[in-house]
Amino acid sequence: MKPLLFLVALLLSPVAFAATNAPPTEKQKQLLEEILRILPRSEPWERWVKATGSYPPDFDTMTNFPFLPDPLRLANGREVKKPDWPRRRQELLAQFQYWVTGLWPGSPGNTRVADIKTRQEGGSTVQQVVLEFGPKSAAKLNLEVIIPKGDGPFPVFMTQDTHRRWALLAVSRGYIGCVYAGADSRDDTDAWRSVWPEADWTKLTRRAWAASRCVDYLHTLPFVNTNQIALTGHSRNGKTALIAAAFDHRINAVISSSSGAGGACSYRFFSEAEFGEGIENITRAFPDWLHPRLRFFAGRENKLPIDQPELIACIAPRPCLISSALNDSVESIWAIEQTYASARRVYDLMDKGGELNLRYRPGGHETRTEDIEAYVDWLDSVFGRHDYELPPSAIFPSYGAWLKCSEELIDPNDYPTNGLGDLLAGANDGLAIKTADEWQKKRGATRERIVWGLGEAPSYAESEPGSYGAEVNHVATLLGRVTVPAGLAKRSLNFGNYVAGDLWFPTNADKAGKKSAAVIWLHPVSISSGYCAGYRRGEQPHLTLAKTGCAVFAFDQLGNGTRLPEIRRFYERYPHWSVLGKHVEDTLAAVEALRQVDFIDPKRIFLLGYGAGGMTALHAAALDERIAGVVSVSGFTPMRLDVPGKGTGGIARWSIWLPLQPRLGAFVHHEAQIPYDYHEVLGMIAPRPALVFTPRIDWRTTPADVKACVADASRVYELFEAKSALQFEEIDDYNHFSPETQRVVFEKFKAMAGF
């Protein structure tokens, strides 16, 4: 008989039923056409769509989760209490099997040894084992069991073939090393597709299931402590480890090392919009890792019914260590900390909050001996062998921490109700503003409200840029910005309050005897890699921009790239300021630095920002008239219109979840009383050129509201007879800074800047 699938379809949500059984609606057909048109080509995925007749779900019927789905909320909406957790866990695992991992067989029940060879090696006993299982015992799995000296029973350090030398280190610490052929270096699991043709499992889930077959065998060995079996893995193997532990309770502890997207990073907080790997890239570059159905959610991550924190929650209450590197491009420390906070709620429900841990290491995707030693230290601790205290690991300040540091009690009812229509109301008498001179009189009051939103900046003095403190080569190498392409030159310098930046420009532009236009490139939330995109198609944006003929100045904003650790104590040091305020100050310091570069035209310094960089660019241009013009791509949605019902997450995204402007957290559900909004910011920039771009598909913004905001601000530009200087364009794309989007933006920027 064919084995039963691990979870029955009855556990799937109504949305999954509709997507599986019902004939496609016209809307679903149109959605599929749109996805095929907008997403980069993926031939394996397109073949799957055609072969299976699959269609995207009707996203309008799906619940919107702009933040993270609640692991402690049953499908029927009821809050989960401790007795309810097994049911909720089954709901979550069913969702994961449908949307992410695919369905796989249950335990075969007939795992046995087909062959075993034993040898002595360096004081250890090494078993070379071949397991067989499944229908007619057709599935085979090779594993190696390395047994240390002693009588046992021993704890087990289980990992994939790639990490065999990790296991050797663990053996030296008194663990059995169990290494199985479920990795790129050696993989027995691909052959299982023909053994279970009815299962739509994928490469990583087959490898996760292989770990469970190892556990089958380990449970037969008298010298194994079956209450102390740990599974580890790095990168794609870290994803595998989490999947295996979530579905198999017999895995007593798990270490996920740099597992990134599809692992410990949530798709909502580490997508292409954050220069992350994201759903589109992972399903295109590695189409056999996860289920093809996941690709439907590229650019619509908010509609995904589950997210990676819930996978980790399904491991509770068993110990789990999430290990990450500060500048590893496959992940984001901020996304990791959101994952940790969400999954920790389930651990806390079971009174096991201390069993979920974070560990950060310096550098990129690589690991060192010390890292593996620390992993074993952690296992010693959770298995009660030795005490080991993890160092404090949270880096990003929380909204609650800001409240504690600032002691600011903001009552939104102390602020008047405002709207987009009041832009040209007089500052004092309320009469309509009809001239540019009258608008200038209102600028001071508007500026005060914008500055209030940015917080109280500390004392500041301008400084000349210099070479001392410029980024050194080994750091530039780590972050992927040491190589200078043909046709470009690079000058590294330090500016402002000891901030390192890089000036990229066409070769010999500094010797041409004429002044060059310059643009400051302001990156989005890009935690691990700063101003360089960790994941992208095509060339790095700052390089493409420099090749258009201008100089490009780029630096890591606070909390990103080289400046990630700097954000840890920011609100302790500056309790009444804001991270966005610091971004703006550094941007204005960069303007001053460029004005002192001999070949830069001080009258043609522009700002171009994407995502959070677009927010920074608009605020900086509003406050400093030395900036010649500004470009904002996916940079904002009007705050007063961004109410919870819009589904974007509202101002809570930037005030509470990532506290760039924590003062605005007091206005959640009181958006109409926010002291300023982006139509006023744009009005402050008038009559200088401003280009606003927004993608048509963007769950973080409401394009119609952005368009209305720009239209309202254009009334100020009309006062200056400069209406054409403010332009809005909706790009037929989803929110990512793709080569296609860059082509549109950079061409418009060139026309605006006149080069």
Domain presence at residue 418: no
Residues 744 and 288: their CA atoms lie apart, in Å, by 33
Q: Do residues 363 and 485 share a domain? A: no
The alpha carbon torsion through 392, 395, 399, 403 (nearest 10 deg) reads 60
Q: Do residues 26 and 113 share a domain? A: yes
| Spatial CA neighbour of 213 closest among 118, 136, 143 | 143
Domain presence at residue 348: yes
Q: Do residues 374 and 471 share a domain? A: no
Give me the DSSP letters along 354-383. Answer: GGEEEEEESSSS---HHHHHHHHHHHHHHT
Residues 740 and 745: their CA atoms lie apart, in Å, by 9
Q: What is the pLDDT of residue 20?
A: 53
Q: Strand, helix or coil at 716?
A: helix
Contact (CB, 8 A) for 319 and 231: no
Contact (CB, 8 A) for 270 and 615: no
| Spatial CA neighbour of 694 closest among 731, 742, 726, 745 | 731
Residues 175 and 223: their CA atoms lie apart, in Å, by 11
Contact (CB, 8 A) for 275 and 530: no
CA angle 71, 73, 79 (to 5 degrees): 130
Q: Do residues 387 and 472 share a domain? A: no
Report residue 334 as tokens. 């901020």
| Spatial CA neighbour of 564 closest among 604, 596, 593, 528 | 528
Residues 345 and 420: their CA atoms lie apart, in Å, by 39
Other residues' Cβ atoms within 10 Å of the Cβ of residue 50: 9
Q: What is the pLDDT of residue 420?
A: 84
Residues 432 and 315: their CA atoms lie apart, in Å, by 61
Q: What is the pLDDT of residue 702?
A: 94
Chosen domain end from 394, 410, 425: 394
Predicted TM-score of the model (pTM): 0.94
Q: Do residues 386 and 471 share a domain? A: no
**371 CB contacts (<8 Å, ≥6 apart)?**
257, 323, 361
Domain presence at residue 108: yes
Q: Do residues 483 and 546 share a domain? A: yes
Q: Distances in Å between the alpha carbon of 510 and those of 166, 274, 490, 516, 587?
A: 51, 33, 10, 8, 22
Contact (CB, 8 A) for 503 and 491: yes
Q: Strand, helix or coil at 176?
A: strand
Q: Do residues 612 and 726 share a domain? A: yes
Contact (CB, 8 A) for 652 and 338: no
Chosen domain end from 394, 426, 454: 394
DSSP 25: P
Q: Do residues 366 and 464 share a domain? A: no
Position 468, amino acid: Y
Domain count, the chain: 2
Instruction: Assign residue 88 the CATH number of its domain.
Output: 3.40.50.1820
Position 702, amino acid: T
Domain presence at residue 143: no
Q: Do residues 334 and 469 share a domain? A: no
Q: Do residues 560 and 700 share a domain? A: yes
Domain presence at residue 190: no
How far does CA 738 lie from the centroid of its chain? 16
Q: What is the pLDDT of residue 21?
A: 64
Q: Which domain holds residue 730?
A: 438-753
Q: What is the pLDDT of residue 578?
A: 98
Chosen domain end from 340, 362, 394: 394
Report residue 582 as tokens. 């610091």
Report residue 596 as tokens. 């002192």
Q: Do residues 471 and 385 share a domain? A: no
Extract the residue ranges of the chain whose pLDDT is less than 50. 1-19
Distance from the first to the final alpha carbon of the chain: 72
Domain presence at residue 409: no
Residues 417 and 44: their CA atoms lie apart, in Å, by 53
What is the longest distance spanned by two Cα atoms in the chain? 93
Domain presence at residue 619: yes
In a 10 Å sphere around its CB, with 0-12 CB exposed, 13-18 middle and 19+ buried, how is residue 196 labelled? buried
Q: Do residues 459 and 589 share a domain? A: yes
Domain presence at residue 67: yes
Q: Strand, helix or coil at 499?
A: strand
